[in-house]
Structures are given as C-alpha cells and as structure tokens.
Amino acid sequence: MEESKRNLLDEEAKASLDIWRYVFGFADIAAAKCAIDLKIPEANENHPSSQPVTLTELSSAVSASPSHLLRIMRFLVHQGLFKEVPTKDGLATGYTNTPLSRRMMITKRDGKSEAPLLLLETSPEMLAPWLKLSSVVSSPVLNVSTPPPFDAVHGKDLWSFAQDNPCHSELINEAMACDARRVMPRVAGACHGLFDGVATVVDVGGGTGETLGILVKEFPWIKGFNFDLPHVIEVAQVLDGVENVEGDMFDSIPACDAVIIKWVLHDWGDKDCIKILKNCKEAVPPNVGKVLIVECVIGEKKNTMVVEERDDKLEHVRLQLDMVMMVHTSTGKERTLKEWDFVLTEAGFARYEEEMSEKAKKGRSNFNGLHHPVVDFWRREVGGISSRNFSNRFSASENLVLRLEIYKKLEKHKGCVNTVSFNAEGDVLISGSDDRRVVLWDWQLGNVKLSFHSGHANNVFQAKFMPFSDDRTIVTCAADGMVRRASILEGDKVETSFLGLHQGRAHKLCIEPGNPHIFYTCGEDGLVQRFDLRTEAPTELFTCQSVDPRRRNMEAIQLNAIAIDPRNSNLFAVGGMDEYARLYDVRRFQGDGSNGFTRAADHFCPPHLIGNEEVGITGLAFSEQSELLVSYNDEFIYLFTPDMGLGSSPIPSSPISKSSVSKSESASSPKDENEHLVPLVYKGHKNSETVKGVNFFGPRSEYVVSGSDCGRIFIWRKKGGELIRVMEADRHVVNCIEPHPHIPVLASSGIESDIKVWTSKAAERATLPENIELRKRTPRGWMYRVSSPQELLAQLFSLQNRSSSSPEREGESSSATGRELLDLILTFNDQSDDENATDDEDGNSHEDFFS
Ligand SMILES: C[S@@+](CC[C@H](N)C(=O)[O-])C[C@H]1O[C@@H](n2cnc3c(N)ncnc32)[C@H](O)[C@@H]1O
C-alpha cells in the first residue's frame, strides 16, 4: 500500500478513538472530582493494615454504596488513578494509591496535591462559563454587548464575584495557595542569590500569603508584604515576617526593594497588564529594583503554523490555561515571549531575563515531562546577564550599602578575631583569632561548621582557603612568625603542619588567584616568601629594604601587608613601616635573591608623605581595575592608579627629610602640577591602633571600606572619595572587613571576640551620623597587641635586633626606638590587666606551645 494511503488509514483509526475523548471527556474530570469529594485517596493512604483496601473496606470508609463505588473504582483504575492488586492472603483484591491519586488528596498540604485547584475548576461557577466559549469567539470584538463568558453567566467579573461570594473566594484562595506550595519552593531554589540584599518584597495579588510565607522562610531576612484586594486580605494568613496589606494594584503598589507577581498578569489584557507592570516598576527603586514575574510562556509559532516543538507535554497545559483565561477572565491570556516582550517594553522595562524552571529545561531535552510546572518563567528588571552577574550588578547599588545592618553575630572565639574571609562560593566564612583557633562558619545560619587549633603558638593573623581545594586546604600565618597549613580530612579531622617561618610576626598572606598551590607571606622581618604547596620549603624572595641607597642592606622594612593584583597575578604589592607601597613583579625574581628582583618595580606614596618617618602602611588592597588602595597609620587611605607610581628608584627630594611636610599643609595643597595624578583620599576613620586592613566593596570595587579605632566601619564611594556610611560595629577597634565574593554582604572583626556579618536588610536607608568626629580613645600604641610575656620578650628582642643591626637608625631615630619600646611595655601592661586566660578548648595554654 502506498505510504500516503497508509497514513490516512492510521489517522482515521486514531480519530475514531480520539473522538470519544471529546464526547465523554468530562467523565474523566468528574470521576476524579468524585474521588476527591469522597476522599478515596485518603482512605487508601490511611488504611490501618497498610494492605490494599478491599471494596467493602473502602465503601465503609467513604460511606459509599458498594455497587456504585465499584464502577467508579473500575473506571479510575482503568485511568491509572488507582491500582487494583491482590491482598496479602491472595484471596481478594484491593485498591492502592498511585502518585497521581496522591496528588488528589484534599487534606494534604505537601506541595504536591492539586486537589484544591481541581475542585475550583470543577465548581459549578467555573464550569458554567465554559459553555459560552463560542460566543466570545464568534464576537469579532469584545464589547459590552458580548460580555466575556464568566461575566455573561455571573453578571460580573471573577474578582467582583469572588468579593460577593465568600465561599467561591475561599475556593480560589485555596487553589492558589496549593499552587504556591508546589511552585514556590522551586522558584526559591532557582532564585539563589536573587534575594540577597533584598530587604522588602511585595507580593502583588498575593492571595492569602502562601507565596510570601514560603519566601520569607527561605530568605529569612526578607520582610514580606502580601498585597491583595480587601476581601482577600480579610481572610489572609497571619504569618511571621509577612504583613498583609489591602489595596488595588491598579492604583499603586507599596514601595519595596522587589516585587513578586505570580499568576496575576495572565488574568489581564495587555493594557491592564502594562498598567500593573508600570505600578510594579514604580514601587521598586530605579535601576536596581527587581520585579519577579512567575507566569508561563506559550511557545512561538513557526512559519509553518505548527507550534514550535518547544519543550514538553506541558505545552498542552499552557494552552489549556490560555483557554481558562478566555473563559474565566475578561481580557486575560497566556503570552508568548514576543507578547511578554511587548508588555514589558511598553511598561518601561529596559532589560529583562527569562528563566526556565529546571524541570522545564530538562523537559526540553527529554520530552518525558509529566511534571506540571505551568509556571516556568520569571523576569527581572535587570536582565540579559547571568544570575551571578545579576547579583553582582545588584550588589553595586548604593541603596544596599545604605541598608547594611548586622545580620548575625558569630560567637565562638575567645580572643580578638584578626582575620575573616569567605570561601570562593561564599557560603563559608573562615576566621582566626588570638585564641589561636581557626573557625569555619555557616555564616547564614550562624553555626560553627568546624573549629580547630591552628597549631600556632600565638595570635592567628590570617587564615584563608586555598582555591580549588574543596575548602579542605587552609593556610595560616601568625604572631609566632609561623606559616602553617591545615588539611581537613575525612570526618572533619584536621591535620596542621608547619610550612615556614618569619622572624617576628607574620602579618599577612596572599594567595595567587585561582592557584591551589601558591601563596606569599610577609612579616616584620621584612621578608617576602613564596610558598608552593607542592614543594617542601618556601622560597625566600627578598627582604624589603629602604628606598634610600645608603640604608639598603642595613635595615629591613617591617612588612604588615601584602596583596596580589587580581588582573595580573605576577604583580604583588607590600607595605610596612615606611611610607612606600612597593609593587613587585615576580617574573623578575632571579632565584638568587639579588639585584633585579629585590628592587621593587614601582613605588607608591602620596607626595606629602614622602620623607615622613611617622607613617607606615597597615593595609593594602587591589581593585578589579588594578588600582592600589593603601591605608596609612595615623593618616588616611589613598587610591593609586597604576600610572601614579614613582618608579623603581624613588629618590627622596632631599636627604631623608626629617622635617616632613605637614599633613594639613600637603593635604590641602598637593604639590602636584598634574592634578589627575594625585591619589584620591578617603578620610574620617582613625587608624592609629592595630594593623588595620582596608578593602574594596562591590563587584566593580565601587566602594572603599575600612574599620576604625572608634569601633565603627567607614564606607566611601571609591569615585570621588565621599563618605557615605558610618556603621557602629564594635565597642573597640574594627580591624578587618571582608566583602562576600558575590553578594552585598560584609564580615567584620576586631578587638572583640565575635564576628559581625552585615547584609542589606535594614528597612530604612541610613544617613550619616551628625557628628562623625572620632571618639577619643586611649591609644594602645600602634600595632602592639602583646598577649603573653613570651611575646613581649620576642618583641623586645626583635626591637633590639632591629636597632643594633641598623646603626643609622640608632643614630637618627633612637628616640623613636625608645618610644616604640615604651609603647610595647605599656601596651603589654595595659592588656595583661584585662586579658582573660586564653586557654583554648583543648585546654592548652600559651606556654604549652612555647615549650
Ligand atoms: C490568580 S490569583 C493569584 C494568587 C497568587 N498570586 C498565587 O499565585 O497564588 C490572582 C490574585 O489577584 C488578586 N487581584 C485581583 N485584582 C486585584 C487588584 N485590583 N489589586 C490587587 N489584587 C488583585 C486576586 O484577589 C487574586 O488573589
């Protein structure tokens, strides 16, 4: 037989069967509704013997006539809704549930049951308008004379009808809530990061609040506002973290950081839809606000007029839903991407992003999706970029900086916390403390994931995860001069080992970006070492020396800070006890520690500080644009662009000037003719005590952050240097501020033993405090925190060595050395008065580690 003929016959055969789906199709729905009404799935599920339920047992459980029930069950078993299987003794048969019938349990609120939706759609009020479908279609234009089907039957639109009929309103609300339970956990899962930094969310047309209830549980920092018509709000749930607000979305929507609008826009035609979207847009802050739309997208037609083979069997459901809109709403419709584009553009949204649910995505490739995520789409005001980039763009918002407030205080350490940093993913925070312990935190929950002794004999100054080590390799440096490695083994067992040593304290380490093996350390001995975890011993790169040729090889510059340029990991900068930040190029290292490499490739110093012996550098950071941020003690923070360098041999204008340029004089009248070469300055904080870090904040380093001796955190706009935020953090000095790698979250620590995690959750935007002048505090002496007699001795020896190995220093600045010595002793006395015993959890005292 010819192929075309055979096809025709096949089609005929199929049609002769399919026709009955239409003739008696309603029987499927009605029988399912009957099962729900009688609670047959519940009777099967709750049968005490966990045996198949016999007909007699079932009829008694649901109070139904056995003969009718038998026919209903025969039909539903044939439909695959229930199974009929032999009882254990094999003497009879009984019924059991299937996954499908479990989705029809009206008493279940598990996110799977669709029974309330089925009951709504099969209610007489919703069924009657279906019979009027043809009248809408035959009418060329929707106008007063041909009202939409629902209005034609009930004399008013659905929402007015619901307002006047509380029982029907309850059916709608229950149906919507059951859908929210199914969809929202998926939306929340896919929105990872989307709500970071979002303090307030309004759910427009939120029904009785189920959607927001799920969101605020998932993202507990959110304050939710459930916004709906008064008759819905009257019966809305009272939920923690959710406020119910009545109103009309066509008038206005309460101001918030983000709007969610789920299954609402499809109820309305384009004109109304654009009006609602405009109101959503107005409710959120310009440029950074988010509008999250949860709706389905109908597949586009191809030229052949065949619906694009888009993804999955759900396309049928989407098209059914479009029919529902035609019957039950006045102007509502499901939209294709093009149609969504139209309403979004008309509403003034410049950018948006479409996101498929994971299941819908999978369905695209394997066509077996029996799942029912009709909702597979949401859009964001800021779009066209990946989720991570999206959150990054978001984190740059000044609005978020102004809403930063303490989200969690992490309490476990028993001494000052000298270092905090995040892992690459950003879900774990690592800290190190004077108590010599390292703690890994689930900072979102505020829980300790792991706490272990670093193996250091003194205050841990830095602890960082090595990249691509699955967060199992940690490197540390400390006041004992040691550099150590901690390996997290199976069962969270930790092994620590010695890697290298500095004479005097080892303040900082920096890791080559993306390299799981290589990092650098610097210490008060002026030494910079390169560690490669694949080799046994570190490489001593060089000892930092004075820029003055007469002093070279005589006096090491104590180093406090080291940072790698993220754009060129060959370049790193160091800073310490003089005025110059030095930039080195590791490629110039020749292996013998001589000539080329020991000289820095470039030097940076604000002109007015050149020759100033009083200042030193405590913190360094590179921006994403290779700018270098330098924090000076007893002075300010400066931002150097790469072209501001003084070269490899900056020669002080005169013999090292003791009569340095006075700060105020130079700050107000920089001596640079090239105005653009003067580094930007950030002022207001105080950096006299401790070795204070400095950092950038924001995905493109839009902000500069620093702690202060007054216990506050200062945030400046990088561009222009304007101070925009001063946050109360600690009672004492704040040393360390670390930004989260992806989202607008900060961690801070200092002299107190807790860590503060800051998120943008404040309801109000903060303003600058009236009086930013610093509180007077008794200085403890710059950079001296001496917590044991042993450390005091070590510091004294170090000081003595530095002086004796530097006759010039002795000659020129013996008074400075004497002052350092006095500071040191006074500081120790001061601290030993109020210092608690810092025995760690293992019961080890400091002495144990010295022995
Ligand atoms: C299809 S339901 C969606 C409910 C909920 N968003 C969900 O998906 O579970 C539409 C909601 O929009 C609400 N609504 C209708 N007109 C409104 C208006 N003018 N202002 C605010 N809400 C409205 C209805 O009361 C209803 O709760």
Q: Read off the pLDDT of residues 449-476 as tens digits, 9 standing for 90 and up.
A: 999 999 999 999 999 999 988 899 999 9
The average pLDDT across 92-106 equals: 95
CA of 291 to the centre of ligand 1 (A): 16
pLDDT tier, 314 (very low <50, low <70, confident <90, very high otherwise): confident
| Protein residue with its CA nearest to atom 14 in ligand 1 | 205
- pLDDT at residue 57 tops 60: yes
Give, for 658, the enclosing helix (H) or strand (E). Answer: none
Q: Is residue 388 pLDDT above 80, yes or no?
A: no
Find out whether 831 and 787 touch, Cβ atoms under 8 Å: yes
Residues in the chain: 851
Mean pLDDT across the stretch 534-560?
84
Q: Which of 143-147, 248-252, 261-265, 579-583 has the lowest mean pLDDT?
A: 143-147
- Let me know if 433 is exposed, middle or buried by CB neighbors in 10 A (0-12, 13-18, 19+): buried
How high is the pLDDT of residue 801? 45
**349 touches ligand 1 (CB under 6 Å):** no
| Confidence grade of residue 550 (pLDDT, cut at 50, 70, 90) | low
CA dist., res. 101 & res. 33, Å (int): 11
Helix (H) or strand (E) holding 621: strand 617-622
Q: What is the pTM of this model?
A: 0.50
The rounded distance, in Å, linking the Cα atoms of 471 and 414 is 24
Structure token digits, residue 179: 């859908």
Q: Considering only residues 287 and 240, tell me which one the structure prediction assigns the higher pLDDT.
A: 240
Instruction: Give the tens place of pLDDT for each residue, 148-190.
Output: 899 999 999 999 999 999 999 999 999 999 999 999 988 887 7
d(CA 822, CA 828): 10
Q: What is the pLDDT of residue 690?
A: 73
Is the CB of residue 204 less than 8 Å from the CB of residue 260?
A: yes
Whether residue 603 lies in the annotated active site:
no
Is 266 noted as a catalytic residue in this protein? yes
Short-list 124, 30, 787, 731, CA closest to 414: 787
CA angle 657, 660, 666 (to 5 degrees): 135
Q: SS3 for 396-464, per residue?
A: CCHHHHHCEEEEEEEECCCCCEEEEEECCCCCEEEEEECCCEEEEEECCCCEEEEEEECCCCCCEEEEE
The alpha carbon of 390 and the centre of ligand 1 are apart by a number of angstroms equal to 28
Mean pLDDT (whole number) for 611-628 = 91
DSSP assigned state of 477? E
Averaged pLDDT, 728-749: 89
Q: Which of 168, 264, 278, 292 to mutate to test the pocket of ligand 1 (most atoms within 8 A of CB)?
A: 264
Catalytic residue among 47, 154, 168, 266: 266
Q: Which of 176, 331, 378 to mutate to test the pocket of ligand 1 (most atoms within 8 A of CB)?
A: 176
Is residue 81's pLDDT more than 80?
Answer: yes
What pLDDT digit, counting tens, does each position of 702-731 carry? Answer: 899 999 888 899 999 999 999 999 998 988
Give me the helix-helix angle, 25-38 and 3-23, nearest 10°: 40
Place of tokens 């709608």: 172
Q: Could you give the CA distance from residue 607 to residue 645 in angstroms, rounded to a whole number? A: 11
Task: Report which ligand 1 atom has the smallest distance to the Cα of 264.
Answer: 10
507 is an active site residue: no
Per-residue pLDDT, 698: 86
pLDDT in tens, 196-208: 778 999 999 999 9
Q: Confidence band (pLDDT; 50, 70, 90) for 672?
A: low
What percent of the chain lies above the pLDDT cut of 90? 55
The Cα 150–Cα 24 span in angstroms is 23
Residue 377: DSSP 8-state = B
Write down the pLDDT at residue 6: 79
Tokens of 829: 């006395």
Question: Does pLDDT of 303 surpass 80?
Answer: no
Q: How far apart are CA 395 and CA 781, in angstroms?
A: 37
Instruction: Tell me how far the alpha carbon of residue 207 lies from the centroid of ligand 1, in angstroms.
Output: 6
Tell me which amino acid residue 262 is: K
Strands 258-262 and 200-204: parallel
- Mean pLDDT of the region 697-704: 87
| Angle ∠(293,296,299) on CA atoms, nearest 5 | 135
Report whether pLDDT(561) > 90: yes
Which amino acid is residue 310, in one-letter code?
Answer: R
- Give the closest residue to 338 by CA, choosing from 285, 271, 270: 270
